[in-house]
Structure 1
């Protein structure tokens, strides 16, 4: 009787390859934006890169949380580098605006022209101000809402916000540059709409759905205010 030879052990299945194209794309795009963000003038191209990188990384991170993708850590790293690049971009814009304002303030003022029996032209009774209104509308809640509150680099963030949401701030008139910005992440269901109003006029709007991010920003002076 011939003895039966044992069958060789079955080869193990190869490990599943990581699946998180959105998270990977967001990390790469955000990293490139972060590299460009500190470079004067050239850094202007970093704005769309870090914003797109942040959106893709958040979407990849959300998919990984639901078990639909792997590489959750890479998506989280993409969120971090994209957010850091966005902060650097805002700081550079604020620094440039401050330099322009300081230069304008250092110029000698023209002497006022007074007329008989009337106060000097341009003598205000109180400092003029702009009223800025941030609005986020939609269904359900927004995951996070971040907005600038001083026209420069200072910002505030609110989480798990029930919609509709609104925030009003006042900024002084006459400055060469004043940044207004609002960023809102959708809560995963439905859609959201963000807008910025300055003195009753809508200057920027954006929309997002799912876990997307809606971003609206601009300079008050560039809109004729």
Structure 2
């Protein structure tokens, strides 16, 4: 059986707007996974530092949260498919796409990884 695997390790840097003296608005982050097939686990960061893991997921899956504009925060979304799958994953910051990836396979192999950084 033919298997296609795609994984993205995409470092992305998003720079905060230049200091204007006024406090900046917090960032709205949306992690999203769509497609078909079971997902063994999804691991993601919601505070820029610590990871959270959800297990036994059937897409679609979405997590939304806010991060302060100050400081530097790491964004990370790791997905481990379970069995046959066709998945798409994305990270959005303030309604704008930051990064995305797609993966298809029949053996559950290969972890999808999306990463980025907010701050300046």
Interval containing the TM-score (normalised by the shorter chain) = 0.7 to 0.9
Aligned-partner Cα distance in 2 for 1:203–1:221: 14
Aligned-partner Cα distance in 2 for 1:123–1:135: 31
- How far does the alpha carbon of each residue in 1:133-184 deviate from its partner, in whole angstroms, 9 at most, with x for none? 00011103211100011112x1110111010000001100021x21000001
Structure 1 stretches lacking a partner, 5+ long? 1-50, 52-120
Matched residue, 1:165 = 61
- Give the helix-richer structure, 1 or 2: 1
CA RMSD of aligned residues (A): 2.2
- Structure 1 residue runs of 4+, over 3 Å off? 121-124
TM-score by length of 2: 0.74
Q: Paired residue for 1:205, among 100, 111, 115?
A: 100
Q: Paired residue for 1:216, among 105, 114, 117?
A: 114
Q: By how many angstroms is 1:221 displaced?
A: 3.5
- Give the strand-richer structure, 1 or 2: 2
Q: By how many angstroms is 1:123 displaced?
A: 4.3
Contact 1:188 1:209 in 2 (8 A): no
Structure of greater relative contact order (alpha carbons < 8 Å, 6+ residues apart): 2
TM-score by length of 1: 0.41
Contact 1:198 1:220 in 2 (8 A): no
